[in-house]
Amino acid sequence: MDLSGKVALVTGGASGIGAAAVERLVAAGAQVAVADRDADGTAAVAERFGGLALPGDVTDPAAMPAVVAATEERFGRLDVVLLNAGITSGQSGITDLDVDAYRRIVGVNVDHVVFGLNAAVPALRRAGGGHVVATASLAGLVALPGDALYTATKHAVVGYVRAAAPTLAPEGIRVNAVCPGFADTPLIANAKPQFGEFPLLTADDVAGAVQDIIERGEPGECWFVQPGREPAPYGFRGVPGPKGGSKAPEVTWADH
């Protein structure tokens, strides 16, 4: 992957998958802006790789436009965006519901992806195209019964990516999702003892899949990442159309 002269933005970049992705992007020649709520961690990663530290809360609707603007102001362009920030809710959301925690997980896992893509598109257009990768999860492809709220948010990310990609592809902007299985990152730190001998991905395994997606992913693909397997696009099955019906109409927001 040659990103010489390119600029990347990574949210959730202070640790785990985000920090590993920053390292790979810099190794490929990119200049990188690092955004994360952890101000100290953001500063440390940015300093280590000569990047731009942008601490803040990605759930704030004003945060992502400000982050994109700061990145363009510092580096003059934006070519690659990894919308990686994510959290778990710590509740099932089925028989228990902490509304504040629910709002928080939706804000980080879903709102930030929507805000991030919306903010990044004008900058990517100015650069003549680019790549957006959202970190979803295997829980965005199949149900994770132990965490219904996390599953709901990651399914939302996958659906959003698949629907947004065809709109932006003609402009040379590729939108994809990376869908890792369980990875040894701070996200599962408290639950790690429960995994026992279960094989876990490393943060760099997932960052490597992100690199593969940037290099050769097709618009709208959602790549699974599992230990011991090569990352690859997930093969979604189609759903049956109306019996005897013709091709579905193309509907735009203007039709509503």
* pLDDT of res. 250: 67
pLDDT band at residue 185 using 50, 70 and 90 as cut-offs: low
- pLDDT tens, 42-76? 999 999 999 999 999 999 999 999 999 999 999 99
Task: Summarize pLDDT for 198-229 with one digit per residue, the tens.
Answer: 677 899 999 999 999 999 999 999 999 999 99
Which residue numbers are catalytic?
Answer: 150
What does pTM read for this prediction?
0.91
pLDDT above 60 for 196:
no
Q: What is the 3-state secondary structure (H, E, C) of 96-156?
A: CCCHHHHHHHHHHHHHHHHHHHHHHHHHHHHCCCEEEEEECCHHHCCCCCCCHHHHHHHHH
Average pLDDT over residues 102-128: 97
Tokens linked to 20: 């590993």
Who's near 241: CB < 8 A, 6+ residues apart?
Answer: 248
Percentage of the chain lying above the pLDDT 90 cut: 78
- Mean model confidence pLDDT for the chain: 91
* Residue 83 pLDDT > 70: yes
First to last CA, the chain: 42
pLDDT confidence bin for 7, thresholds 50/70/90: very high
Q: 201 phi and psi, to 5 degrees? A: -70, 155
Two tokens, residue 256: 């509503």
Task: Please give the average per-residue pLDDT across 92-117, as a whole number.
Answer: 95
> Contact at 8 Å (CB) between 174 and 222?
no
* Domains of the chain with CATH codes: 7-255 (3.40.50.720)
Mean local confidence (pLDDT), 113-130: 98
Question: How far out from the chain centre does Cα 221 lie?
Answer: 13
